[in-house]
Structure 1
């Protein structure tokens, strides 16, 4: 594996001091003592629940080449250390150094919904054109972004990073660290309202992504929501010279004129200027087409051939937990599982149920399992109850609700529609499993904190 940093580069970037260091450098970086790559640097950051310094001896015993530690913890951490004033700041310094030396074209993505899927679509397109480094999972916060950036290899030609937030002011330092050439905002919706006075406040917080754009950079904005004007205003205020829009909106620069489902694929016609672009993806849903069109727009701004982008997108499907559809069991009568268990807010709930509404069951019933949308504050009950029409439009034969906030939706739907409602996934799991059969189509959707991924795993194990 190619070396990420020499020992000298680490010390120069962080301003740290070495203690018992051996070897020439490191080839990987980790914050998890259980997951160490070859010649790893273990970074001992302090989180809400754990302090990485407690795991330095384990990391070194498990093969880490060195550990990056805070000064106050150095005496108890052992040998093979890089000692800095603060380990998280040291990680940011390494991220900054990786960015400074890189000639890669960089893309940053944020949004209330669809940012991970859009990031995956973009990295699929760029990966077809050259070596591409990208954020894994949803490593998009104050430690995830610098970790992903610090891991960027010298030889990367493209980089794609996901930036997340639940408070104002969180994206600004992340985008200034990443310094993207292209910044994408997927949508703005009622998410994290617990920490904002309004959805417009969320839009302005998402718009912080434009603050870090490189000179001459491009803002790419989804036009299919009520706050596109706010985002354009924020982008202009940040000095962005080029703004590109995409979506189903009539005035979008990349306008989706039609989108139809055919088997496993969605087919769309996209108009860009005088060009008509045929697009096909291996996923369901209008929102998935929009995510793919964002990747097309990025490809043009980055300089990737459109045919290369279209060919890559033809095999692009929904990631695990974000709409991934799987047929389980016998080919003649399988169970269709649609896994939307990773996240949920009003926008993503509506998009997921819009897809499920046109989804036929292979030979049985349609089943919905919906979990709480978290961090909505005092507007939570109303936003949950407002899902009623979308639920009814799916044509679901059985509806299972999980979480205390779903009580508002249970009341709105009534007992004749709601099959079962429990406060936790553990409490409802057996009821759901007992109600499913081969031939059914089941969609599982909720915020990650509801832990519906555990139910998805049980469904897979029961019906595989």
Structure 2
């Protein structure tokens, strides 16, 4: 199998564990028995719904070389093959191994947070930095109290660039994760009305996002959006946390990474920017002004890392959006193709507006329409209904022809939506399936978006199953 990710002795030393059975060296780490591969270490975490200790047998049978378990569960566990690493608490063991991974790392560590754009920015870093050296980043978002330490545990010992996405639902959640990662560079994509239900105000959201600077190594680099209301606060917060350099990105000439010119297209964007005094032209391979703006922050960080900006810019041409986060499908029909924009993973006012702008630039057939399918934006607090209703202005200004909406909060939009724009309304996304599929016609461009709890993904799957995707 090659060089192990961890020797068994390293795991035992890091997690302060004892052994039962015959565990072997570790070539991967998992906390989900369904994803275990031969040679993995399975860490049995007790979650909100399931206790990983119930799946230790399955993980070992699937080829895990060992399972890291809590001592109070160990006596009830058989060892059909491999072995057990017994620790006082498996959750603490996950963090102990993560700290050991960070302690042995010699590469540059980057941490990203923000109200929107975290995952796409993380993937952009993966794309660019991989052309400069061994790059490690989470396979999915993996941005919470399980995902961040797991990503550290999985980091190869020869990693030159480690990229970590850090999210939150409440104040105080980012600080411990940032301190775990200890980034050399920390980036905040933006501050927008997300999690207002928990945090109450944009000021509180900005303060929560700024916690990412709490783990920044002394003298490290902070990178923040330079065109938003909270830029001065974020810069000050970074400086007080010990940042040696604070960089900004955005439209204005005062930014370290300045957008000079941009041409937005249905499939991509062409950009001219000034990064630390160097002017470069490049293409962003996925559509959307929001991706252009975040690319400036990415290039600012490349500049801070003293990487070749021209080479970094070339890599941006290969950017693609993942499923649920802006992936575009072209669906063949007997007439013109249907264009489907899959934004089903999550939603808030800022990301919905960005997605509507992308929809407005998608090509349609001769009789095609631009159709928005919208589910509730959750966790917006007391002003949630007003924020949903206010989307009517963007839908009108951007020339969306038809709207399908679902969820109790989307009633506020439905009530103010002009009759000619109404497709159908339902209490749940399932209720939109029949009317939406029946209405789709050759040449249409359709965008589907909603918070994860709105369950918009099945609508995407239904359309793709009905038509052949290319």
Q: When the two structures are superposed, what TM-score results if normalisation uses the length of structure 1?
A: 0.97
CA deviation after TM superposition for structure 1 residue 362, in Å: 3.5
Could you say which residue in structure 2 is the equivalent of 1:166? Answer: 169
Q: Distance in 2 between matches of 1:238 and 1:399?
A: 46
Mapped to 1, the partners of 2:290 and 2:266 lie a distance apart of 17
Match of residue 138 from structure 1: 141
1:461 to 450, 461, 465: 465
Q: Is the 8 A contact 1:104 1:159 kept in 2?
A: yes
Q: Does 1:27 align with 2:30?
A: no
**Separation (CA, whole Å) in 2 of partners of 1:194 and 1:237:** 28
Q: Is the 8 A contact 1:187 1:224 kept in 2?
A: no
Alpha-carbon distance between aligned partners in 2 of 1:294 and 1:116, rounded to the nearest angstrom? 14
Structure 2, gaps ≥5 residues long: none
SS at match of 1:244: strand
The aligned runs of 1:241-280 (5 Å cut-off) are: 241-262=244-265, 264-280=267-283
Shift in Å, 1:272: 2.8
Q: Which residue of 1 aligns with 2:445?
A: 441
Matches of 2:231 and 2:349, distance apart in 1 = 17
Question: Which deviates more from structure 2 when the two are superposed, residues 182-191 or residues 355-364?
Answer: 355-364
- Cα-to-partner distance string for 1:107-133 (whole Å, 9 max, x where unaligned): 110000001001111111101111110
Contact 2:333 2:467 in 1 (8 A): no
Q: TM-score, normalised by structure 2?
A: 0.95
- Is the 2:402–2:420 contact (alpha carbons within 8 Å) kept by the matching residues of 1? no
Give me the whole-angstrom Cα distance separating, in 2, the residues matched to 1:273 and 1:307: 13
Question: Which residue number corresponds to residue 15 of structure 2?
Answer: 14
* CA shift for structure 1 position 252: 1.7
Question: What is the Cα-based RMSD across aligned positions, in Å?
Answer: 1.5
Q: 1:311 aligns with which of 308, 314, 318?
A: 314
Offset of residue 400 of structure 1: 0.3
CA deviation after TM superposition for structure 1 residue 197, in Å: 2.3
Structure 2 CA distance for partners of 1:362 and 1:414, relative to 1, 3 Å: closer
Which residue pairs with 2:73 in the alignment?
73
Residues 265, 361 of structure 2: 8 Å contact kept: no
1:239-298 deviation digits (Å, cap 9, x = unpaired): 112000001234221111221124632001112343221121111111011122222112
Within 2, Cα distance between the matches of 1:271 and 1:304? 15
The offset of 1:366, in angstroms, is 1.1
Tell whether 2:380 aligns with 1:373. Answer: no
Aligned residues: 463
Greater displacement, 222-231 / 447-456: 222-231
Spell out structure 1 runs of 4+ moving beyond 6 A.
none
Match of 2:436 in 1: 432
> SS of the counterpart of 1:428?
helix
